[in-house]
Amino acid sequence: MRTNAHRVRTPGSRAGTALAGLVAVGLFATGCTGSSGGTHGGQATSFTFGVGAAPISLDIAKDFDGNIMQIMALVTEKLELISSNGDLSPALATSVTQPDSTTLVYHIRSGVTFSDGTPLTAQDVAWSLQHMTDVKAGAQTAGNVPSFQSAAASGPLQVTVKLKRPDPTARQNLAVISFVQEAKFGAAHQKDLGTAAAIPIGTGPYQVSSDTTQAVSLTRNPHYWGPKPPMSKISFNVITGGDNTSQLAMRSGSIQGTLVANLKTASQWQAVKGASLYTLPALTTTFLTLDISSGPLSDVHVRKAIAYSIDRAGVMAAGYGKYASLMRGLAPAGVLADVAPSVQEAEAFLAALPQYDLDPAKARSELAQSAYPHGFSLTIPYVQDAPFSQLTVENLAQNVKPLGVTIKLKAITTQQWIATIYAHGKGLGVQTMELIPPVPDPGAVLGVVTGKPNIRPQGFNLANWSTPQVEQAFTQLTTSVDKQTRWRAAQTLLTAIADDVPYIPLYDPDTVAVLGNGFSFSRALTLFDLDVNGTWASALKTG
Amino acid sequence: MPIVVFLLKRLFGVIVIVLVVSFLVFSLLALSPGSVVATLLGNRPSTPDLVAALKAKYHLNDPFLVQYWHWLVGVLHGDFGRSTQSGATVTSVIADHLPVTLEVAVYTLVLVVGIGIPAGMLAGIRWGSRFDKGVSALTVFGMSAPGFAVGIVLVYLLGVKVALFPVYGAGGSSPVDRIEHLTLPAIALAFGLIAIIVRQTRAATLNVMRQDYVTFARARGVSPTRILVRYALRNTALPIVTSAGLLLIVAISGAVLIETVFSLQGAGQLMVQSVTAKDVPVVQGLAIFIALFVVVVNLLVDAAALIIDPRTRVAARS
C-alpha cells in the first residue's frame, strides 16, 4: 500500500493497511473488471490503474493517503504544484505573495469553473483551506500545517492565509494539501463528504463518474480550464491480491497500470509481456532508531558497533533489488535540495559524513571501548509486513553474534508497531522506521526526528536524543525562513546524527510504477507527480 | 402454542447472543493494540490539539463501559453510528459490502448442494465401486487444498491461460456479468465444502441403504428411483440439511481469503480493514449482522428439520 500522504510510513508497507499506509490502488474499468477500452494502446481513450486498497473516503481530509490523492488530485486541483526538489509552480493560484512572515496571499486564476459549471470563487478556496486544516473536525491533513491560523477571501479572486508564526515550509505544505473543492457542496455534506453519496466537486481535468467498493471511475471534466487530458476515462480498480493478482490482471489486459507493491517482484513484472517499469523517486528515508535514554544503547560505542554490524548493501539488494539507494545521512539529497545551494552540494556533504558500512573489525573495536565489552542482550521488534525491517534486524542479529551480543527478534504487526511508536513510551530500544517527507524539505525529516518537542507521545524523536547544539539547530531548521541558516542547521543535525548515531540511516527505496498493454509515460515522473500533483495523467500516452 | 413458546425462547436467545457478541467484540477491540486516534492519524503529522479533538469526537476519554453504553443506546434507537474513517453510516457501509459476500456464499452453496449431494449419494449407493473410490479420493484432495491456493490456480488457468472468466472483481450490476465474475470465487470456495458434503452424504446414504426397510423395499420390487428418492433421499436429508446450514455459515466466514484472492470488496474485506483501523461502529455492526445471520440460518435449519423428520416435532413439543 502506498503511504499516507507521505509522512512516516510503516517500515516496508506497500501493501497494506491504514497506518502502514502506502497504498496501492486498483480499480475497475467500467464498474467491473476485465474490460477496459484502454487495452492495447492504439487509439485507446481509457486507462485502468490497479490500486491495492479501496478508498476509504474521497475527501482527503478524512483519508490522507497517497492512494486517494492519486485519484483526487485529478479532480480537486490544488493552489500550487510542488516538484521533488521543493519548487512551486502555479495551478489554481497564478501567483503567491508574502507581505510579511506570517501572511500568504494567493491570487486565484480567473475563468475557472467547477465540473458542475459553478464558477470558482475565493470563498471556495478559503473554505477548502479551512476544511483541510480543521483541527476540531479531526482533519488528517491538519497536522501538516500546524502554523495555519486562518484563510479568508480578501478579494474576488484573492485569498489571504494567516499563520500563527513564521513557518518556512507552510507554503509548500499548503501546496500539498490545498485540494480545492466546491464550498457550498462541501459545507452541505460535512458528515458524509467523501462517500459515494457526496463526492467532492473540483475544477480538475476529471470528475468522478462512479464510486463503488470495486472501483472509482473518472471522466473528463468538460469545464476544465487547461489542456484536454489524453484519456477520456481513467478507472482505478481495487486489486487486493498483491503483485500476483495484479500481474494476472495485467496479463489478462484488464489493467494497464499499477504500482509494484513488493519491489522484489520487479523481475516478475518485467516478464509480463509489454510491461514497462518506471522508477519514481520518492525521497524515502528508512532507518533504525536507537533509544539512547537507557541500557546499552545509551553508550555511543554500542550504537556505533551496531551501525558497523549491518550489511546495508546486502539487505538493500535482498529487499529492494536495484530499486533503492543507500542513505549516506538521515535524509536523501533530494530532501536537502530545498535549502542546499544545489543537489550536488547536498550529495557531496552527505558523502563526507562518517559512514557505517559493514565492518566486523570496527564493530568489535567500538564494542571493546564501550561499557559492554563482552556483549549484552537486546530484543528488537520487526514489522511483519515490512520486508526491509525483518531483513535488517535479522542481518544485525547474525552479525553481532561473534561480538557476544544476543539479539532476540520479535515479530510485531503494523498495528503494534504504530501503537508503540505513537505512545512513545519508555524503553523504545531499537525500532525500524520509514519516513516519506510530505514536502521535500529537511524539516520534514530532521525536524521530525530531532528536538525535545518531538520527545512526546505522537512525537517521532524515538531516540530521545537531544544536545544543546542539536536543539539550537532544530529550532533554526523549523522556524527560520532564511535558507542559509536552515542549510547550516541541517548540516549540524546531520553531522551530529552521524557522530552520535541515535539513528542509523538505511535505504532510500523508489516507488515503481508499471504500465503495460500499449501504454507508457511520455516523460520522467516523481512520486509528487503521482500522489500530489495529479500531473501523471497528462503524461500517459498510447502506442 | 408450543411453537410460539419455541419461537419466544429462540428470540430471547437471539437477544442474549447479540448482546454478548457486541460486548465481546467491543472489549476485544479495546484490548487490541493502538487506538482510534493512532489509526486515524497513523504516522502522519499530528499536533496535541488534533489528538485532543479526535479523542473528544470519539468519546475516547470516557471509561470503557461508558463508551459501550453510548454505542448501545444508539443501537437501541436504531442508530448504528458512522464509520470513524469515512463518516458514512454503518448501515450504508455494510450495505455496500455485504451483497457480494452473500452472492458468493449462495453461489457456493448452490455448487455445494448441486454437485456434492448427488455425488455423495451416488458414491453411497455404489459403495466400493470405482466411482465411489474416485469420489473419495477427490474429497481427500478437496479437503486438503486451501481455498485461496485453489483460487490462484483457477485464476491462472481459467482467467489467464484460457481466459474464460475475469481474474478479479465482482463485476457490474447485470446478473450475467455478476455470475461471470463470481464463478471462480465460488468454485474456489466450494472446492473444500463440496468434499465435506460429499463425505457427509455418502456416509448417510451408506447407512440408509443398509437399513432393513430398503432391503424390504427392494424385495418388494420397488423401483430404484423410488428407493432413491423416497427412501434414501428423505432419510439422509436431515444430516445433509444440517451440514448445508453450517456450510453456508462457513462460506460466509471463508469468504475473507477468497475475497482477497479475487479482490472482492465484500464483508470479509470490510471486517479485516475495519478491525485494523479500529473502526468500532463498523466492526460492531458487522459482528451483529453475522451473529444474526448465524442464528437465522440455524433457525431455518431447525425448522427444516421439523419438516423433514416427524420425530423432531415430538422432541420440540416435549
Cβ atoms of A379 and A407 within 8 Å: the answer is yes
Is there a single domain that holds both residue A154 and residue A36?
Answer: no
pLDDT grade for B173, boundaries at 50, 70 and 90: confident
For residue range B56-107, list pLDDT tens digits in order. Answer: 888 888 888 998 998 999 888 888 988 888 888 999 999 999 999 989 988 9
A467 or A84: whose pLDDT is higher? Answer: A467
Is there a single domain that holds both residue A258 and residue A403?
Answer: no
Residue of B nearest to A19 (CA): B42
Nearest to A329 by CA among A168, A442, A429: A442
Nearest to A346 by CA among A354, A330, A362, A335: A335
Separation of alpha carbons A278 and A263, rounded Å: 12
Query: Among A250, A281, A312, where does a domain finish?
Result: A281
pLDDT grade for A19, boundaries at 50, 70 and 90: very low
* Domain CATH number, residue A84: 3.90.76.10
- Measure A30 CA to nearest chain B CA, in Å: 8
Average pLDDT over residues B212-241: 84
Is there a single domain that holds both residue A337 and residue A452?
Answer: yes
Separation of alpha carbons A474 and A442, rounded Å: 11
Half-sphere exposure of A120 (CA within 13 A, CB side): 31
Cβ atoms of A448 and A330 within 8 Å: the answer is no
pTM of the model: 0.83
Separation of alpha carbons B49 and B42, rounded Å: 16
For residue range A143-193, list pLDDT tens digits in order. Answer: 889 899 999 999 999 999 999 999 999 999 999 999 999 999 999 998 899
The verdict on ipTM greater than 0.85 is no
Is there a single domain that holds both residue A167 and residue A127?
Answer: yes
Say which amino acid occupies B219. A
Of A139, A144, A238, nearest to B263 by CB-CB distance is: A238
DSSP state of A199: P
For residue range B267-284, list pLDDT tens digits in order. Answer: 988 998 888 888 889 999
Query: Among A186, A214, A230, where does a domain finish?
Result: A186
Cβ atoms of A143 and A47 within 8 Å: the answer is no
B233 or A45: whose pLDDT is higher? Answer: A45
Question: Strands A46-51, A257-259: parallel, antiparallel or unpaired by DSSP?
Answer: parallel
Average pLDDT over residues A303-308: 98
Q: A456: how many CB neighbours lie within 10 A of its CB?
A: 11
Residue B317 confidence (pLDDT): 62
Q: Indicate yes or no: CB of B86 within 8 angstroms of CB of A421.
A: no
Residue B46 confidence (pLDDT): 73
Is there a single domain that holds both residue A179 and residue A307?
Answer: no
Kindly list the residues from chain B whose CB atom is less than 8 angstroms away from the CB atom of residue A435. 43
Residue B244 confidence (pLDDT): 81
Separation of alpha carbons A30 and A217, rounded Å: 7
Question: Under 8 Å CB-to-CB from A63, ≥6 apart: which residues?
Answer: A55, A56, A57, A140, A194, B85, B86
**Does any domain span residue A19?**
yes
For residue range B116-145, list pLDDT tens digits in order. Answer: 988 998 898 888 899 999 999 999 888 888
- Measure A261 CA to nearest chain B CA, in Å: 15
Kindly list the residues from chain B whose CB atom is less than 8 angstroms away from the CB atom of residue A422. 34-35, 37-38
Separation of alpha carbons A160 and A104, rounded Å: 6
Q: Indicate yes or no: CB of A458 within 8 angstroms of CB of B171.
A: no
Cβ atoms of A147 and A133 within 8 Å: the answer is no
Q: Is the pLDDT of residue A24 over 60?
A: no
**Does any domain span residue A164?**
yes
Is there a single domain that holds both residue A348 and residue A421?
Answer: yes
Cβ atoms of A103 and A234 within 8 Å: the answer is no
Q: Indicate yes or no: CB of A192 within 8 angstroms of CB of B171.
A: no
* Domain CATH number, residue A13: 3.40.190.10
Kindly list the residues from chain A whose CB atom is less than 8 angstroms away from the CB atom of residue B83. 56
Average pLDDT over residues A265-276: 91
Which domain, by its residues, includes A344? 285-509
Is there a single domain that holds both residue A254 and residue A303?
Answer: no
Kindly list the residues from chain A whose CB atom is less than 8 angstroms away from the CB atom of residue B86. 56-57, 62-63, 194-195
Is there a single domain that holds both residue A98 and residue A46?
Answer: no
Q: Which of residues 219-248 of B touch A (CB under 8 A)?
A: none
Kindly list the residues from chain A whose CB atom is less than 8 angstroms away from the CB atom of residue B85. 18, 56-57, 62-63
pLDDT grade for B239, boundaries at 50, 70 and 90: confident
**Does any domain span residue A539?**
no
Kindly list the residues from chain B whose CB atom is less than 8 angstroms away from the CB atom of residue A244. 152
Is there a single domain that holds both residue A368 and residue A476?
Answer: yes
Question: And the C-alpha cell for A346?
Answer: 547536498
**Does any domain span residue A198?**
no
* Domain CATH number, residue A310: 3.10.105.10
Separation of alpha carbons A440 and A58, rounded Å: 25
Residue A28 confidence (pLDDT): 25
**Does any domain span residue A2?**
no
Residue A154 confidence (pLDDT): 96
Average pLDDT over residues B39-54: 75
Nearest to B45 by CA among A58, A383, A9: A9
Cβ atoms of A213 and A157 within 8 Å: the answer is no
Residue of B nearest to A449 (CA): B45
Q: Is the pLDDT of residue B246 over 90?
A: no
Question: And the C-alpha cell for A391?
Answer: 531483513
For residue range A461-501, list pLDDT tens digits in order. Answer: 999 999 999 999 999 999 998 999 999 999 999 999 999 99
- Best residue of B29, B44, B283 to probe chain A, by most A CBs closer than 10 Å: B44
Separation of alpha carbons B208 and B239, rounded Å: 12
Question: And the C-alpha cell for A194?
Answer: 467523501
**Does any domain span residue A531?**
no
Is there a single domain that holds both residue A181 and residue A216?
Answer: no
pLDDT grade for B314, boundaries at 50, 70 and 90: low
Q: Is the pLDDT of residue A25 over 60?
A: no
Q: Is A371 helix (H, G, I), strand (E, B) or coil?
A: coil
Residue A458 confidence (pLDDT): 83
Separation of alpha carbons A370 and A363, rounded Å: 11
Rounded to 10 deg, the angle between the B267-276 and B234-261 helix axes is: 50
Q: Is the pLDDT of residue A43 over 60?
A: yes
Query: What is each CA distance from A410 to A21, A390, A425, in whole angstroms?
Result: 22, 9, 18
- Domain count across chain A: 3
Q: Indicate yes or no: CB of A34 within 8 angstroms of CB of B40.
A: no
Q: Is the pLDDT of residue A409 over 60?
A: yes
Kindly list the residues from chain A whose CB atom is less than 8 angstroms away from the CB atom of residue B263. 26, 33, 214, 237-241, 245
Q: Residue A173: exposed, middle, or buried by beta-carbon count in 10 A (0-12, 13-18, 19+)? A: buried
- Of the spans A83-87, A367-371, B261-265, which averages the highest pLDDT? A367-371
Q: Indicate yes or no: CB of B86 within 8 angstroms of CB of A34.
A: no
Is there a single domain that holds both residue A106 and residue A121?
Answer: yes
How many interchain CB pairs under 8 A, A with B?
Answer: 202
Nearest to A531 by CA among A439, A434, A435, A414: A439
Average pLDDT over residues A273-299: 93
Sole residue written with cell 479568508: A152
Max intra-chain CA distance, chain B:
87
Residue A326 confidence (pLDDT): 95
Is there a single domain that holds both residue A172 and residue A253?
Answer: no
Average pLDDT over residues B300-310: 81
Query: Among A263, A281, A299, where does a domain finish?
Result: A281
Residue A217 confidence (pLDDT): 96
Average pLDDT over residues A497-526: 94
Q: Indicate yes or no: CB of B167 within 8 angstroms of CB of A34.
A: yes
Q: Which of residues 28-47 of B touch A (CB under 8 A)?
A: 32-35, 37-47
Residue of B nearest to A420 (CA): B34
Of A17, A62, A254, nearest to B87 by CB-CB distance is: A62
Q: What percent of chain A is predicted at pLDDT more than 70? A: 92
Q: Is the pLDDT of residue A375 over 60?
A: yes
Kindly list the residues from chain A whose CB atom is less than 8 angstroms away from the CB atom of residue B173. 31
Separation of alpha carbons B90 and B98, rounded Å: 12
**Does any domain span residue A528?**
no
